[in-house]
A = this chain, B = another copy of it.
């Protein structure tokens, strides 16, 4: 199996602090994945020779491609160029062309070039120099036996164009890259363990497909990656078959076969039917509206709604009856019903969606514990209510409640 493995090493002590995420690797990964190259490991090391050497040694041990970002600057803690050359036992020589470019660059902005900057003109024996249109540090490519090592500058605005314009073509020219075959199923309102117990027996029949499960607050994603020989027909046949079989078992719970968000899929359904939607939110406090309006263009179908966090807004703005509140309490199927029907009427929308519940951590009782949620759905034909119980903290209960309501409406529109 000729899979190309890559490792990404980010160099810089600032990346080991509490403030800075390493983000270059996401961009690099996306570019590599498109060539069918799998990122096997990511490393973040400080400006220490020992740690960078060890990372490089281990990375070359397993992978054909090593991409190192950062540590090419002019200051004394920028050690990447020297450490890599030392590890590979290659002499560094000053390249006149780079020095000239550096001098021109400094002259252009009217700054004096320091002795430190001259270090950036040092090139390991046999390395290919990658021009940096955005900064002073040139990139480098070193071939070591059948392996490729790239040294790229850390600042994203320097690394991104260098990656796209120079690194990718050089990888294509030097490594046996293959196209990548991938399928995804996105599932709502099912537990991760439930999805796995349904899908597991099926995907385990496909030893050439690698399956990953991602779960977060009511959404489960199944990722299927082809790991066999790069034969397009066979890969697509097996992936399609696997996705179809799993989808058949999970039915309407599958809301997308792409990266599309639940709100996006729901929005498409509402738009296709020219339905307008309004929301009445108690415990979610505006979260459903926030999720819907995260998407540009959501005003095509989402009209807005009422956040009725206090009971008198339920009465005053939605027409929930005081007797219903008194008799059943704010967290009840009766109130969820009147909220959904009320917001639909008040806003003259096609669909009204409501949520009321105990998000916690306080406010629970034996009859109405934390996690108890009622959702309501009013359409031109009917008004329905569901009773739900969610585990987790306040944030999770609220997010699950919001997603459940959106997913319920999606299923009703199928």
Q: Which residues of A contact B (CB under 8 A)?
A: 13-23, 26-27, 29-30, 33, 38-48, 51, 54-55, 58, 62, 73-77, 105, 108-111, 113-114, 116-117, 133-135, 155, 157, 191-194, 196-197, 200, 210-216, 223, 259, 278-279, 281, 283-290, 292-294, 296-299, 302-310, 312-313, 316-317, 346-347, 359-363, 371, 389-396, 398
Q: Which of B44, B200, B259 contacts A76 (CB 8 A)?
A: B200
Assembly CA distance A113 to B297 (angstroms): 41
Task: Tell me if A105 and B391 are in contact (CB < 8 A).
Answer: yes
Whether A304 touches B303, Cβ cut-off 8 Å, given contacts A33-B17, A46-B40, A395-B294, is no
Q: Which of B40, B46, B191, B281 contacts A286 (CB 8 A)?
A: B281
Interchain nearest-CB distance for A44 vs B (Å): 4
DSSP class of A's interface residues: helix, strand, loop or mixed? mixed
Task: Tell me if B21 and A390 are in contact (CB < 8 A).
Answer: no
Interchain nearest-CB distance for A405 vs B (Å): 13
Report copies per complex.
Answer: 2
Task: Tell me if B74 and A110 are in contact (CB < 8 A).
Answer: no
Task: Tell me if A289 and B293 are in contact (CB < 8 A).
Answer: no
Whether A309 touches B289, Cβ cut-off 8 Å, given contacts A21-B21, A192-B74, is yes
Whether A303 touches B310, Cβ cut-off 8 Å, given contacts A16-B42, A285-B292, is yes
Assembly CA distance A399 to B331 (angstroms): 30
Q: List 8 A-B contacts (CB under 8 A).
A: A17-B212, A41-B46, A111-B191, A285-B290, A299-B310, A303-B312, A316-B347, A317-B347
Q: Closest 10 interchain pairs by CB?
A: A286-B289, A285-B293, A286-B286, A18-B30, A304-B309, A42-B44, A304-B307, A286-B290, A289-B307, A303-B310
Task: Tell me if B75 and A192 are in contact (CB < 8 A).
Answer: yes
Interchain nearest-CB distance for A147 vs B (Å): 18
Assembly CA distance A73 to B220 (angstroms): 13
Q: A40-B46, A157-B395 are in contact. List 5 more A-B contacts (CB 8 A).
A: A134-B393, A293-B309, A299-B309, A303-B312, A304-B310
**Hey, which chain B residues are within 8 Å of A41, CB to CB?**
16, 43-46, 51, 55
Assembly CA distance A290 to B309 (angstroms): 11
Q: Which of B33, B394, B396 contacts A18 (CB 8 A)?
A: B33
Q: Which of B113, B306, B360 contacts A306 (CB 8 A)?
A: B306
Task: Tell me if B290 and A298 are in contact (CB < 8 A).
Answer: no
**Hey, which chain B residues are within 8 Å of A26, CB to CB?**
18-19, 21
Question: Which of A62, A278, A309, A390 gathers most chain B CB within 10 Å?
Answer: A309
**Hey, which chain B residues are within 8 Å of A309, CB to CB?**
289, 293, 298-299, 302-304
